[in-house]
């Protein structure tokens, strides 16, 4: 019988398993390097001289920036002033080097490196199921079909870390109107790519049910907040953030915001989702941010801002109650 590797759920937030003072000192040091983590290198923190710290910081930042595209048309686009956040925007280098993208690795600090060579052109998105206009979109056509806008949203991972990010994209409801769902369409199911040759995590972590899949109700999918995202910080998405196109549902835990979408299917039954299939007692279908419902293994009452390490209270629906509370009675 083959050895079946049982995949782990989300790891406990680092701060919950490491004594607070050790954790804070380690993070302060790593931040001085321009990184939130440097793998084995960080074990030798005590041996690093001041000058080599500065050099390491500079080369670390240069390396992350290498993975970030320069702005080129159609970016940057105008910011929609309706979506403001009363917190500073997260430093881009930090957001670009602290990612969840299990197709590449479970190690957040390494995703940007392992995703660097991933090919995002040509890229097609198949639309199927209960729609009048089943079709396959080429990414380069899709990006010209709807007016793009920038929105600054709070983003909250189920692991209790948070950031504030300027996303560029278009409301998913514009896309849904274009493909014309039939009355049988009650849910939207979305699927990511499956390319073990380019994505090391898919090759090495066979226990996960690849490709990654997610779902929303039609009301959630057509909510004003739900964005199809093609850019971030005024340029195209770098691979680690889910190039060339991902979803953002800012009132839900981050795992609902599926990256690198290749298929969108309109279905009549609630579709299974990747994390719910793996650990149904820990990750539900709806997964709305809620400080009063703890994860079975940690509290959700507060969250850690990734670039400052500040701990702040978690907001119900991640602060988007006025847009979405009505969806849940
Ligand atoms: N989409 C795919 N295809 N694969 C993933 O592993 N991780 C999710 C979500 N979308 C994930 C994904 C999780 S858990 C989070 S928190 C966010 O992506 C992280 O997005 P970011 O790396 O852009 O911050």
How crowded is residue 40: how many other Cβ atoms within 10 Å of its Cβ?
6
DSSP reduced 3-state for 323: helix
CATH of the domain at 132: 3.90.420.10
75-100 pLDDT per residue, tens: 999 999 999 999 999 999 999 999 99
Q: Which residue segment(s) compose the domain that 43 sits in? A: 14-66
- Domain boundary among the residues 49, 66, 83 is at 66
Spacing, Cα 212 to ligand 1 middle (Å):
10
User: Domain count of the chain?
Assistant: 2
Q: Which pLDDT does position 57 carry in this prediction? A: 67
Round to whole Å and give the CA distance between 329 and 326.
6
pLDDT at residue 4 is higher than 50 = no
Q: If pLDDT is split at 50, 70 and 90, which confidence band does 52 have?
A: confident
| Residue 210 shares a structural domain with residue 302 | yes
Spacing, Cα 49 to ligand 1 middle (Å):
35
| Residue 106 shares a structural domain with residue 215 | yes
For 137-147, b/e burial (b = at least 16 CB within 10 A) is: bebeebbeebe
- Domain boundary among the residues 51, 66, 81 is at 66
| Residue 26 shares a structural domain with residue 149 | no
| Residue 21 shares a structural domain with residue 163 | no
| Residue 102 shares a structural domain with residue 40 | no
- Residue whose CB lies within 8 A of the most ligand 1 atoms, among 7, 123, 254, for a mutation test: 254
CB neighbours of 187 closer than 8 A, spacing ≥ 6?
A: 215, 216, 217, 218, 266, 267, 268, 269, 270, 271
pLDDT at residue 300 is higher than 60 = yes
| Residue 261 shares a structural domain with residue 161 | yes
Residue closest via CA to ligand 1's atom 6 equals 101
Residue closest via CA to ligand 1's atom 10 equals 258
Ligand 1 pocket, CB under 6 A = 99-103, 157, 192, 212, 241-242, 254-255, 257-260
| Residue 250 shares a structural domain with residue 179 | yes
| Residue 238 shares a structural domain with residue 136 | yes
Mean of all residue pLDDT scores within the chain:
87
| Residue 34 shares a structural domain with residue 149 | no
Q: Which pLDDT does position 43 carry in this prediction? A: 28
- Does residue 223 fall inside a structural domain? yes
Round to whole Å and give the CA distance between 134 and 235.
30
Q: If pLDDT is split at 50, 70 and 90, which confidence band does 59 have?
A: confident
Residue closest via CA to ligand 1's atom 8 equals 255
| Residue 106 shares a structural domain with residue 20 | no
pLDDT at residue 241 is higher than 60 = yes
């Amino acid at each position: 019988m083959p050895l079946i590797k049982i995949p782990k759920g989300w790891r406990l937030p680092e701060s919950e398993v490491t004594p607070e003072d050790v954790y804070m000192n380690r993070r302060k040091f790593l931040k001085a390097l321009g990184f939130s983590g440097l793998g084995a290198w960080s074990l030798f923190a005590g041996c690093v001289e001041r000058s080599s710290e500065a050099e390491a910081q500079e080369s670390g930042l240069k390396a992350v920036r290498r993975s970030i595209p320069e702005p080129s048309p159609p970016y940057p686009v105008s910011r929609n002033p309706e979506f403001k956040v009363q917190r500073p925007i997260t430093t881009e280098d930090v957001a670009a080097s602290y990612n969840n993208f299990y197709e590449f690795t479970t190690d957040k600090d390494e995703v940007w490196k392992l995703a660097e060579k991933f090919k995002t052109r040509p890229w097609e998105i198949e639309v199927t199921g209960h729609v009048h206009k089943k079709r396959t979109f080429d990414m380069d056509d899709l990006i010209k079909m709807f007016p793009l806008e920038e929105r600054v949203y709070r983003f909250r991972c189920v692991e209790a870390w948070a950031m504030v990010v300027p996303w560029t994209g278009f409301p998913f409801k514009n896309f849904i109107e274009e493909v014309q769902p039939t009355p049988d369409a009650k849910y939207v199911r979305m699927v990511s790519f499956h390319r073990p040759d380019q994505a090391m995590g898919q090759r090495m972590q066979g226990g996960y049910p690849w490709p990654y899949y997610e779902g929303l109700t039609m009301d959630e999918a057509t909510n004003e907040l739900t964005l199809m995202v093609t850019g971030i910080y005024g340029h195209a998405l770098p691979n680690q953030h889910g190039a060339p196109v991902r979803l953002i549902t800012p009132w839900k835990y981050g795992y609902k915001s599926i990256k690198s979408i290749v298929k969108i299917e309109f279905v009549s039954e609630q579709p299974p989702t990747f994390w719910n299939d793996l650990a149904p007692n820990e990750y539900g279908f709806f997964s709305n941010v809620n400080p009063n419902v703890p994860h079975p293994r940690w509290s959700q009452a507060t969250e850690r801002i990734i670039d400052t390490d500040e701990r702040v209270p978690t907001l119900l629906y991640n602060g988007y109650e006025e847009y979405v509370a009505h969806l849940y009675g």
